[in-house]
Amino acid sequence: MSDAIAKRKISFSPPDISELEIAEVTEALRSGWITTGPRTKLLERRLAAYIETGRTDVDTEADAARWSNRVACLNSATASEELNLRIWGIREGDEVIVPAYTYTATASAAIHCGATIKFVDIQKDGDPITHMPEMDYAALEAAITEKTKAIVTVDLGGIVCDYDRVFEIVNARRSLFMPLKPDGSPLGDLSSRIQKAVGRVAVIADCAHSLGASRVFRGERKYCGAIADFTSFSFHAVKNFTTAEGGASTWLPIPGVDNSEIYKMFQLLSLHGQNKDALAKTKLGAWEYDIIGPWYKCNMTDIMAAIGLRQLDRYPGLLKRRTEIISAYNKTCDALGISHLVHHTETMDSSNHLYLIRIPGIGEQQRNLIIEKMAERGVATNVHYKPLPMMTAYGMDSSDYPNAYDYYRNLVTLPLHTLLSDEDVEYVCAMLKGVMKEAV
């Protein structure tokens, strides 16, 4: 390392928690209501306003009530994707298509529902403009069979997939789709009505990284959460927007199906199938409840929602800061001839979640050496992701997914978060330059 530059310690993705979040959590703790309650409900409506219009200045219950109840806050994106799939009606015997290049939760949520997953490789070197490791759409189309019930798309790093293309594909394959038959159960009957109304394979978006990202879809700019049939977001500690752990589901209106029925099903599935939540049971004499199904426990607490309410106030500023850091990284990488994600185009604005770079002409070993050398200089980097077919749990032959492997072998993720000062960003760039000289 050059003697002229003092060593810094750069973490990969620490949470950005201000006094505002701390004060709101304190108030929640003092309020006497700490599990799912008014703060969670307010966050749901505020997220709906944000997803529908980009507005974050909606903060009273009366104002928030003007927005849709098509957001359900939960305890993680994994739970959120699983409930999306369950409400859509994924069952044993169904096939769910998942990109080979993603985090395990994208696939495991479908497996939890009893589905068989089918991996689809990514395009060689990712999307030609954004370089995002996006599914190979010809392979996606070919993978759809009569058993296919859903495609899970992933807006990796915050970059929004080509949903026009994805919807074109599922619409072209309508004739193969066989909707679920009603089975006399509340969940089965609801899913059957939803599948009949939609009449094609569902697009279930894994937007764990992409809250606040937008793209032109069917000629109109739309935020993630207002594009796919069902969407899941992650509010995990390393995400742009955090509630420590947490997540949310959103969905589009389903013609002929009462939205309150869908919202209610999210509440039931996330709270043991119990038809009254803790708040409803506090009403005088209202102790009695029924259990509709032996379901799950994945609700959001008001303590988590308290963090989210204040994060949402700050979110436009957090996104702007991420854009500034990305611009500085872009300059350095372009000068070094390193390929990187392109987070902003004429038709798409990412949520700036991850900065993936691919170093030309190297293999896995050299990539790992670069990661070590950056760590020696105090810079934590990462790899997003080792393709799922290579993981023990999935145990598939990675040679069947050559583009995913090729993308991964020379990939490094640089630290990108809002606690980085301009000097930190300059330091990361300087260390990258030095390490490239030494290791490549």
Ligand X SMILES: Cc1ncc(COP(=O)(O)O)c(C=O)c1O
240 contacts ligand X (rule: CB under 6 A):
no
Using the minimum distance from each CB to ligand X, give the nearer residue, 33 or 223.
223
Q: How far apart are CA 304 and CA 84, in angstroms?
A: 21
298 contacts ligand X (rule: CB under 6 A):
no
Report, in Å, the least distance between residue 385 CB and ligand X: 8
H-state helical runs in 129-277:
137-143, 163-172, 186-198, 259-270
Using the minimum distance from each CB to ligand X, give the nearer residue, 205 or 425.
205
Report, in Å, the least distance between residue 99 CB and ligand X: 10
The two counts, helices (H) then strands (E), for the chain are 14, 13
* Bridge partner list, 74: 247, 299
Side chain identity, residue 170: V
Using the minimum distance from each CB to ligand X, give the nearer residue, 234 or 274.
234
Q: Answer yes or no: are the C-beta atoms of 218 and 209 closer than 8 Å.
A: no
Tokens of 73: 């806050």
Instruction: Specify the stretch interacting with ligand X by CB under 6 A; choose among 73-81, 288-296, 338-346, 410-418.
Output: 73-81
Residue 21 Cα distances to 16, 164, 170, 310, angstroms: 10, 37, 42, 5
Tokens of 135: 């599914």
Using the minimum distance from each CB to ligand X, give the nearer residue, 328 or 390.
390
Instruction: Specify the stretch interacting with ligand X by CB under 6 A; choose among 14-22, 74-82, 135-143, 264-272.
Output: 74-82
77 contacts ligand X (rule: CB under 6 A):
yes
103 contacts ligand X (rule: CB under 6 A):
yes
Give ∠ CA 204-162-415 in degrees, rounded to 5: 85
The binder of ligand X chosen from 106, 153, 301, 418 (CB under 6 A): 106
The binder of ligand X chosen from 43, 83, 105, 107 (CB under 6 A): 105
Report, in Å, the least distance between residue 90 CB and ligand X: 16
Please give the residues from 121 up to 160 whose contact with ligand X meets the rule CB under 6 A.
Answer: 154
Instruction: Tell me whether the omega of the peptide bond preceding residue 401 falls within 30 degrees of 0, making it cis.
Output: no
The binder of ligand X chosen from 89, 133, 157, 247 (CB under 6 A): 247
* Residue 416 zone, left/alpha/beta (φ > 0; ψ -120 to 50; rest): beta
231 contacts ligand X (rule: CB under 6 A):
no
Using the minimum distance from each CB to ligand X, give the nearer residue, 236 or 417.
236
- Site size for ligand X (CB under 6 A): 14
234 contacts ligand X (rule: CB under 6 A):
yes
Q: How far apart are CA 34 and CA 304, in angstroms?
A: 9
Report, in Å, the least distance between residue 351 CB and ligand X: 12
Helix (H, G, I), strand (E, B) or coil at 433: helix
Helix (H, G, I), strand (E, B) or coil at 117: strand
The binder of ligand X chosen from 78, 108, 243, 270 (CB under 6 A): 78
Instruction: Specify the stretch interacting with ligand X by CB under 6 A; choose among 41-49, 72-80, 191-199, 285-293.
Output: 72-80
Give ∠ CA 229-231-236 in degrees, rounded to 5: 175
Please give the residues from 209 up to 228 whose contact with ligand X meets the rule CB under 6 A.
Answer: 209
Sheet strands (E) in 332-426: 339-340, 348-349, 355-358, 411-414
Residue length of the chain = 440
236 contacts ligand X (rule: CB under 6 A):
yes
Please give the residues from 193 up to 212 whose contact with ligand X meets the rule CB under 6 A.
Answer: 206, 208-209
Report, in Å, the least distance between residue 359 CB and ligand X: 22
CB contact set of 176 (below 8 Å; sequence gap of 6+): 144, 145, 146, 148, 201
Applying CB under 6 A, the residues found at the interface with ligand X are 76-78, 102-103, 105-106, 154, 206, 208-209, 234, 236, 247
